[in-house]
Amino acid sequence: MSDDLVIGVDVSAHQDPSQIDWKRFREQGVRYAVFKAAEGIGDALYDADKHAAKAAEEDLLIGYYAFMRPRLPKYAEECAEGTDVRASARAQADQFVKNIGALPFPTFGLWADIETKDENLTSQHVTDFLEEFCSRCAASGFLVGIYSGFYFLKDQLDADALRAAGLSKYPLWIPWYHGKPTGPKRIPPPWDDWVVHQWTDTGKLDGFSGNLDLNVAKREFVTKILRDLPGVRLMPEWAQDFLLGF
């Protein structure tokens, strides 16, 4: 694999925390892990607390993602924020940040996982939701990125609206399964590049018997963007050396 790419995994409650040997992952080149820590406004952690604690012991960079539910306010927490999709986004973002509050610091950032939308929402509604969610999380001082597939962004949303909302400033983590960890074949506008490529959902590593989502991150993303995070001094020693040349 190219020296310009950094290996990582993402997991959720689908992977039993007791069955993962993070030390073996580390020995095979894994340097970061991203964990599902929210969905909608629920307070379930999807085992992110257990996963992250073990991964942090092996000095991996830690990230978290929220599976978003773009919708008009449906539950009390969302209705308390207002009546439009932005109200729902604020409630979901606040829940996400709350969920990770006691977990290892997100040295690999927070990620907004957008893969679905309610049928009654327009593409502009979803764009408004995504912009509000990301800006709300970013206001907490964390790096925020967007995880989404090429065809969802291209077919369900509008590139001009995404551009007008300033969403292309958020780094893009894109799934594209073509058997090679070399980057996706196409980038959805308004983005012109990717920072993390999820290249398979059936990956294998020693240390876990089941399938894994395997990713590669561009080295320049790690060295040029993560190094500016407020939590850089909380990173493991190897990461500080890697990022800052300490």
Instruction: Please tell me what DSSP assigns to residue 188.
Output: -
Percent of the chain topping pLDDT 70? 95
**Residue 229 — pLDDT band, cuts 50, 70, 90?**
low
Higher pLDDT, 164 or 179: 164
The pLDDT score that the predictor gives to residue 225 is: 73
Where does the pLDDT of residue 231 fall: very low under 50, low under 70, confident under 90, or very high at 90 and above?
low
Average pLDDT over residues 16-37: 97
Residue 246 pLDDT greater than 60, yes or no: no
Query: pTM for the full model?
Result: 0.94
pLDDT at 232 over 90: no
Per CATH, the number for 5-244 is 3.20.20.80
Which residues, at least 6 apart from 231, have a Cβ–Cβ distance to it below 8 Å?
A: 105, 106, 107
Distance CA 106, CA 235 (A): 9
Per-residue pLDDT of 84-127, as tens digits, reads 999 999 999 999 999 999 999 898 999 999 999 888 899 999 99
AA letter at 188: P
pLDDT for the residue 117: 86
| Residue 134, pLDDT above cutoff 80 | yes
Q: How sure is the predictor about 170, in pLDDT bands with cuts at 50, 70 and 90?
A: very high
Share the mean pLDDT of the chain: 92
What number of CA atoms fall less than 13 Å from residue 92's CA on the CB side?
Answer: 29
List the domain boundaries for the chain: 5-244
Q: Does the pLDDT at position 230 exceed 70? A: no
Q: How far is Cα 17 from Cα 118, in angstroms, rounded to an integer?
A: 32
162: Cβ contacts below 8 Å, ≥ 6 apart:
127, 153, 168, 189, 190
CA distance readout (Å), 40 to 36, 108, 142, 244: 12, 21, 19, 36
